[in-house]
Amino acid sequence: MSTNYATQAAVRMTPSDHERLAAISAAAATLGGSILAREVDRARVVDEDDPDQKFVQLHSRIEYVDLTSGRTRVVEVVPPDEADIDQHRVSVLSPVGAALIGLKTGDSYAWTGEDGRPHVLVVVALESRHGAA
């Protein structure tokens, strides 16, 4: 499993997401779980009532562009048990979900997949669980 990370955008999490995501990542021995564990470890925990909650959290809807493919997608990052690709709900344990968590609009995240292919995502827009950001 490759964990070559090229981009180090700041990662933010609320205390409740931080606790929940730490538990989720500890139970997963996958590339997505490894990315998520790393992001949880380096996250800056911000207060739940912080008015600047304009970053990707669980249940945020995100528009992102994959710079390696040129494709733009809109997804919601959710816990693994709520994932449904037909509803554009990606698990936070997927490499894409783990890469997006904690980022702000304009931030990017890069990694090398298990197949050796590079991936680079850029957050274009997001709507947090607290409203548009």
- Ordered by start, the domain boundaries in the chain are 12-132
Span of 49-58, 74-83, 121-130 with lowest mean pLDDT: 49-58
Beta bridge partners of 121: 66, 109
- Alpha helices, DSSP H, located in 1-118: 15-26, 31-42, 95-100
Asked if 120 contacts 21 with a C-beta cutoff of 8 angstroms, the reply is: no
DSSP state of 82: G
Alpha-carbon gap, residue 83 to 79, rounded angstroms: 7
pLDDT tier at 64 (50, 70, 90 boundaries)? very high
| Residue 50 pLDDT grade (very low, low, confident, very high; cuts 50, 70, 90) | low
d(CA 89, CA 82): 7
Classify residue 102 as left (phi > 0), alpha (psi -120 to 50) or beta: left
Q: 12-132, which class in CATH?
A: alpha beta
Residue 55 pLDDT more than 50?
A: yes
DSSP 3-state of 67:
coil
